[in-house]
């Protein structure tokens, strides 16, 4: 590539670091002198086992996952986990759920097929634009878990602090769907029982699902849970009960290595990427807020650092906006069909320069059309 790559704001599958893609291309036919590409390796051979162990170890280090949590590489994505979580954790009993947007709504509806689900709080009346304060949640005694989507990809709402369920009087483990902001910031594991996420936003290719689960939550699957999706079976087999999505794990591993080496503003690793994410988000929200031409509708205290939905106040200009963006190499800015408008997903791999270019375009388009 002699010219710079366009900036890709897709909500997922999403942009990946150029260095990662380049290394993957270079190693496609021969991984480190093995005579095989990674796609062609037995998952039981020492070559792939070394890739797997490095990836698990690096993810554990990046997210500072405590020793009493297991890291599982699974399949089926977030929508698959919406069933797999209650199949494994609900014991057919009570589940409390907090509705904060499209994804937590989907999770809640799917869980109802397996458990007695109670909506402990919801921001629906506010059209998913704010977060119901944890102090207002109606949690039940004896819930098997409490489900939260810690970053709503479509609505652009993010928990900047995870709820402390113990302080709220609940003994239930917290389950978080962190698909769209995993690895963008640290996780407070003292408040979490299980976290899951599809890889295709901040990690790597679609088709890999990350599950981080506290060991005491293993081994309680309902009888109807498929063996391949039983956390205990998967954990006992080191994610190799069935053939894992090997190439996706390899790409995820390259992303983890990229993150470990990442430096920004005098910081390194996850702290560095978090700082850059803070700076990118601040830049973009400031550009939107300073204009009467665009608007972001999410309450300031829970705006997502990853997914920034915004609207042109004159929506007749939407098509022209997208056409002009593409001409400048700003790709996939169209909003989700369920909410319309625009959305800039500014995941880890999207450079600061991408947000700067978008902000410049916002100004220029407004100047021409405002």
Query: CA 313, CA 125: separation in Å to the nearest integer?
Result: 22
For 251, phi and psi rounded to 5 degrees?
-65, -45
Q: Which sign does the torsion angle of CA 11, 13, 18, 19 carry? A: positive
Give which of 107, 141, 144 is closest to 122, Cα–Cα: 107
Query: CA 261, CA 188: separation in Å to the nearest integer?
Result: 22
Q: What's the min distance (Å) between Cβ of 161 and a copy of itself?
A: 28
Check binding of 357 to a copy of itself (CB under 8 A).
Answer: no
Check binding of 97 to a copy of itself (CB under 8 A).
Answer: no
Among positions 200, 239, 296, 348, the unique one binding a copy of itself when judged by CB under 8 A: 200
Check binding of 240 to a copy of itself (CB under 8 A).
Answer: no
Residue span 309-348 as binding mask against a copy of itself, x where in contact by CB under 8 A, dash where not: --------------------x-xx----------------
Structure token digits, residue 64: 């500072």
Q: What's the min distance (Å) between Cβ of 59 and a copy of itself?
A: 18
Give the CB-side neighbour count of residue 248, counting CA atoms within 13 A. Answer: 22
Check binding of 30 to a copy of itself (CB under 8 A).
Answer: yes
Among positions 71, 84, 284, 288, the unique one binding a copy of itself when judged by CB under 8 A: 84
**Contacts for 96 with CB less than 8 Å, ≥ 6 apart:** 117, 118, 119, 120, 137, 139, 140, 143, 145, 146, 147, 170, 172
Residues with catalytic function: 103, 177, 201
Q: What's the min distance (Å) between Cβ of 83 and a copy of itself?
A: 3
Structure token digits, residue 315: 């929506």
Query: CA 209, CA 78: separation in Å to the nearest integer?
Result: 7
Phi-psi region of 64 (alpha: psi -120 to 50; beta: other; left: phi over 0): left
Q: What's the min distance (Å) between Cβ of 146 and a copy of itself?
A: 21
- Region binding a copy of itself by CB under 8 A among candidate stretches 119-127, 163-171, 244-252, 288-296: 244-252
Among positions 119, 168, 228, 317, the unique one binding a copy of itself when judged by CB under 8 A: 228
Q: What is the contact surface with a copy of itself in residues (CB under 8 A)?
A: 1, 5-6, 8, 10-16, 18, 21-22, 24-26, 28-30, 35-37, 39-43, 45, 75-80, 82-84, 87, 110, 113-114, 198, 200, 204-208, 222-224, 226-229, 241-248, 251, 329, 331-332
């Amino acid at each position: 590539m002699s010219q710079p790559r366009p900036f890709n704001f897709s909500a997922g599958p999403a942009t990946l670091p150029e260095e990662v893609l380049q290394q993957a291309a270079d190693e496609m036919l021969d991984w480190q002198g093995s005579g095989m590409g990674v796609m062609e390796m037995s998952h039981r051979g020492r070559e792939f086992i070394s890739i797997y162990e490095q990836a698990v170890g690096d993810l554990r280090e990046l997210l500072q996952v405590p020793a009493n949590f297991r890291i599982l590489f699974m399949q089926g994505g977030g929508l698959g986990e919406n069933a797999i979580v209650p199949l494994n954790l609900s014991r057919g009993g009570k589940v409390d759920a907090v509705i904060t947007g499209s994804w937590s709504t989907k999770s809640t509806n799917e869980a109802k097929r397996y458990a007695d689900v109670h909506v402990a709080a919801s921001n629906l009346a506010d059209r998913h634009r704010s977060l119901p304060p944890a102090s207002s949640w109606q949690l039940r005694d004896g819930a098997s878990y409490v489900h939260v989507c810690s970053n709503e990809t479509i609505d652009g709402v993010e928990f900047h602090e995870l709820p402390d369920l113990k302080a709220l009087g609940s003994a239930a483990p917290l389950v978080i769907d962190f698909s769209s902001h995993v690895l963008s910031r640290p996780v407070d594991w003292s408040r979490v029982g299980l976290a899951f996420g599809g890889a295709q936003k901040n990690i790597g290719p679609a088709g890999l699902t990350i599950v981080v689960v506290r060991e005491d939550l293993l081994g309680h699957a309902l009888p109807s849970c498929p063996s391949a999706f039983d956390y205990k079976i998967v954990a006992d087999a080191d994610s190799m009960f069935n053939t894992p999505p090997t190439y996706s794990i390899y790409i995820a591993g390259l992303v983890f290595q990229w993150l470990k080496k990442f430096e920004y503003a005098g910081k390194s690793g996850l702290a560095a990427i978090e700082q850059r994410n803070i700076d990118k988000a601040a830049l973009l929200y400031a550009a939107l807020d300073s204009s009467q031409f665009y608007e972001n509708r999410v309450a300031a205290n829970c705006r997502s650092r990853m997914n920034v939905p915004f609207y042109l106040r004159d929506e007749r200009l939407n098509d022209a906006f997208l056409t002009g963006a593409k001409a400048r190499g700003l790709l996939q800015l169209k909003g989700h069909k369920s909410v319309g408008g625009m959305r800039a997903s500014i995941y880890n791999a999207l450079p600061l320069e991408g947000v700067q270019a978008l902000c410049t375009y916002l100004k220029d388009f407004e100047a021409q059309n405002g």
